[in-house]
């Protein structure tokens, strides 16, 4: 079950179940993080348990503190909640594995579905940084949490601020956030729009070890680092698809530092890079800006390589790509859709049918099987839905 489906399932929980989930998420992050003093983490765990107990009320007994901590490891999320919601995507996910390592769902739920994520070791600093950024651009009131703020809202706030610097600065800044989610401080200082935006911050302790970090070969962002009881460190991209494709490694102590080996299909391994002097996008901006932009930028490069003229995010970001062939009258207005949940995308197309005439909605090739579903939703609107591979072939053949 995808993490996207889990985030949607959280919205179906009642108030007590959400409070319990919030407590479990923050406690799981405290258990899996090496950030901060052990005494402070224990204090936070006890506070989480208190909130957890209160969420159960008087009719259903909550587990004592020791059992609460034990259940966080390896238990399905739905089984941790009062009433144990059935037929929920949360019944197929966990927060920590049996060894206490964080799941791919943990950070996303912390950002999108909790009120106290700012307290959590590891991602708490990222959430506080994003709070400050959104307040600075007038999109988040003081004291408000992220759990009611969607990715589109964050995109709008960030892009609006970049756009104020002019169209060229907007395109360069947005593309930099896609291509280089990690920068040296010197590189960042050369981009006035990004420096003023303040989007980059220090690399999180949960994505580094021994003063070094590694980049995912697919997205370039910092790979999550989880210590194992053996002393080894497991490295895995936060994006499920990148992890499945092979962005999974193990670092083991060696005489000359650390030895990195692949645990997935990618036989090559990334370099270990010093943390000092580098800054990265926080988790939410990587999730809501970098990941959606990867296909947009890659598609632009492929089309330009085939001889097309392409503008990224034209006419004030009216859509993603404006494509033309030299000497031809035909143009393609392209809106790239990278939603991990094709049914959610279908619903979005169904709810917002205006302005589709002549638009090409492009989805990744791995969603080809959902083309019939998506095409039904835009039937009669004048729009088309095709994969990125189809678009490149069509432009090349025009």
Task: Tell me the per-residue pLDDT of 202-243, one tens digit each, with 9 for 90 and over.
Answer: 998 889 999 999 999 999 999 999 888 788 999 999 998 898
Phi, psi of 63 (to 5 degrees): -70, 150
Instruction: State yes or no: pLDDT of 143 exceeds 60.
Output: no
Q: What is the pLDDT of residue 9?
A: 75
Each residue's pLDDT tens digit, 123-136: 888 888 887 888 77
Strands 248-254 and 233-236: antiparallel
Statement: residue 282 has pLDDT above 50: yes
- Residue 3: predicted pLDDT: 56
C-alpha 349/C-alpha 365 separation (Å) is: 19
Q: What are phi and psi of 297, to 5 degrees?
A: -70, -40
Q: What is the pLDDT of residue 144?
A: 60
Higher-pLDDT residue of 309 and 338 is 309
pLDDT recorded at residue 332: 94
- Cα–Cα distance, 343 to 21 (Å, whole number): 25
In this structure, is the dihedral angle defined by the CA atoms of residues 304, 309, 315 and 321, taken in order, positive or negative? negative
Is 70 exceeded by the pLDDT of residue 158?
Answer: yes
DSSP 287: I
Q: Which of 303, 321, 301 is nearest to 313 (CA)?
A: 321
Is pLDDT above 50 for 1?
A: no
Total H helices, total E strands in the chain = 17, 14
- 359 has which bridge partners? 333
Q: Which of 253-262, 292-301, 332-341 has the highest mean pLDDT?
A: 292-301
pLDDT over threshold 80, residue 319: yes
Element containing residue 40 per DSSP (H, E): helix 38-56
Structure confidence at residue 313 as a pLDDT band (50, 70, 90): very high
Of residues 8 and 292, more confidently modeled: 292
* Residue 344 predicted with pLDDT over 80: no
Give the span between the Cα atoms of 209 and 225, in whole angstroms.
Answer: 7
What is the pLDDT, as a whole number, of residue 230?
A: 83
Q: Which of 108, 113, 142 is nearest to 128 (CA)?
A: 142
Q: What is residue 257's predicted lDDT score, i.e. its pLDDT?
A: 85
Q: How much is the pLDDT for 196?
A: 87
Instruction: State the burial class of residue 361 (Cβ atoms within 10 Å of its Cβ: 0-12, 13-18, 19+).
Output: buried
pLDDT band at 21 (very low <50, low <70, confident <90, very high): very high
Q: In this predicted structure, which of 4-8, 153-157, 207-211, 279-283 has the lowest mean pLDDT? A: 4-8
**pLDDT at 66 (0 to 100):** 94
Q: List, for residues 74-93, the tens digit of each pLDDT value.
A: 899 999 999 888 777 788 88
Which residues have C-beta within 8 Å of that of residue 88, sequence separation ≥ 6? 9, 12, 78
- Predicted confidence at residue 356, as pLDDT, reads 67
């Amino acid at each position: 079950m995808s993490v996207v489906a889990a985030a949607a399932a959280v919205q179906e929980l009642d108030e007590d179940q959400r409070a319990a989930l919030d407590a479990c998420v923050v406690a799981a992050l405290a258990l899996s993080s090496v950030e901060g003093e052990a005494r402070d983490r224990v204090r936070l765990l006890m506070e989480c348990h208190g909130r957890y107990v209160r969420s159960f009320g008087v009719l259903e007994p909550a587990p004592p503190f020791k059992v609460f901590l034990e259940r966080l490891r390896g238990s399905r999320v739905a089984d941790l909640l009062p009433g144990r919601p059935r037929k929920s995507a949360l019944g197929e996910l966990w927060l920590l594995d049996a060894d206490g390592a964080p799941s791919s769902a943990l950070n996303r739920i912390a950002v999108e579905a909790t009120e106290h994520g700012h307290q959590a070791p590891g991602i708490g600093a990222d959430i506080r940084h994003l709070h400050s950024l959104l307040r600075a651009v007038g999109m988040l009131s003081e004291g408000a949490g992220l759990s009611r703020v969607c990715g589109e809202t964050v995109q709008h706030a960030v892009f609006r601020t970049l756009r104020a610097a002019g169209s060229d600065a907007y395109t360069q800044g947005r593309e930099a956030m896609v291509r280089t989610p990690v920068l040296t401080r010197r590189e960042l200082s050369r981009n006035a729009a990004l420096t003023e935006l303040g989007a980059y911050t220090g690399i999180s302790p949960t994505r580094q070890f021994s003063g070094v970090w590694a980049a995912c070969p697919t997205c370039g962002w910092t790979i999550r680092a989880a210590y194992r009881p053996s002393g080894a460190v497991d490295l895995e991209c936060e994006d499920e698809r990148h992890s499945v494709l092979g962005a999974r490694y193990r670092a083991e102590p060696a005489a000359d530092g650390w030895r990195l080996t692949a645990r997935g299909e990618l036989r090559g391994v990334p370099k270990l890079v010093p943390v000092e002097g580098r800054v990265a996008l926080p988790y939410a901006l990587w999730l809501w800006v970098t990941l959606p932009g990867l296909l947009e930028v890659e598609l632009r490069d492929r089309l330009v390589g085939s001889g097309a003229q392409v503008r990224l995010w034209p006419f004030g970001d009216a859509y993603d790509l404006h494509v033309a062939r030299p000497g031809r009258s035909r143009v393609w207005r392209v809106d790239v859709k990278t939603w991990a949940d094709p049914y959610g995308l279908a619903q979005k197309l169904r709810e917002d049918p205006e302005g589709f005439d002549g638009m090409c909605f492009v989805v990744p090739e791995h969603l080809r099987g959902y083309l019939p579903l998506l095409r039904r939703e835009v039937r009669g609107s004048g729009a088309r839905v095709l994969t990125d591979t189809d678009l490149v072939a069509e432009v090349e053949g025009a």
